[in-house]
Amino acid sequence: MFCFATGNTAKIRKLNCGLIEVGRDADFVFMDRAQHSPAPGLLESVQLGDIPDVGMVMIDGIVRCGRSRNTPPATEIPVVVSGAH
C-alpha cells in the first residue's frame, strides 16, 4: 500500500519524488502504529486493519503539521532535533 502511494506512483508519473535519494524532492509523512495495537509495528498494524497515526508532515524540509487529531494516537511521536550532525 505504501509503495503504491509513493515510489510506484512517482515512477509511473515520472515525478522527481517518491523515493529517498539525493537530488529528489522529499516530502515526508511520519506514521506509526496506533497505541494499544496488538501488532508489533506499523505494517503489521495496517494489515490487521488499524488506522496508522500521522505524527508529522514535513514539506520542503519544514514541519507543516504535527500530530493528527483525526487518527488514533501513535505509540511514538516524531520530534525535530535541531543541530543534529
Q: What is the CATH number of the domain that holds 62?
A: 2.30.40.10
Residue 38 lies in a domain: yes
Q: What is the CB neighbour count within 10 angstroms for residue 57?
A: 17
Q: What is the CB neighbour count within 10 angstroms for residue 50?
A: 19
pLDDT at position 31 over 80: yes
Q: How confident is the model at residue 70 (pLDDT cuts 50, 70, 90)?
A: confident
Question: Which domain range does residue 65 map to?
Answer: 21-76
30 forms beta bridges with 56
Residue 6 lies in a domain: no
Domain count, the chain: 1
CA–CA gap between residue 48 and residue 22 (Å, rounded): 34
Greater model confidence, 23 or 48 = 48
Q: Round to the nearest angstrom and report the end-to-end CA distance of the chain.
A: 32
pLDDT digits (tens, 9 = 90+) for 10-21: 788 888 877 777
Residue 10 lies in a domain: no
Could you give the angle at the alpha carbon of 47 between the alpha carbons of 59 and 13, nearest 5°? 40
User: What average pLDDT does range 6-12 have in this prediction?
Assistant: 76
pLDDT digits (tens, 9 = 90+) for 40-62: 988 898 889 988 888 888 888 78
